[in-house]
Amino acid sequence: MNFNGRQGQVALVAGASEGLGAAFARALASRGFDIIMVARRHELLKALAIEIERRYGVKAYPITCDLGNPGALDLIRSEIRDLDVNVLVYNAAKTTHWTLLKHHRRVLTAYAAGKAFARVLAEGVVV
pLDDT digits (tens, 9 = 90+) for 86-121: 888 887 755 444 444 455 455 555 555 555 665 555
> Which residues touch 26 (CB under 8 Å, ≥6 apart)?
51, 52, 55, 56
Q: How far is CA 65 from the centre of its chain?
A: 10
Cα torsion 10, 23, 121, 4: sign? positive
Q: What is the overall mean pLDDT for the chain?
A: 77
Tens digits of per-residue pLDDT, 15-24? Answer: 898 888 999 9
pTM equals 0.74
Domain 10-124 has CATH 3.40.50.720: yes
pLDDT value at 33 more than 90: yes
The pLDDT value recorded for residue 77 is 82
Q: Is residue 58 within 8 Å of residue 34, measured between CB atoms?
A: yes
Domain boundaries along the sequence of the chain: 10-124
Q: Return the pLDDT at 118.
A: 58
CA torsion through residues 53, 117, 114, 85, sign: negative
Confidence label for 31 from pLDDT (cuts 50, 70 and 90) = very high
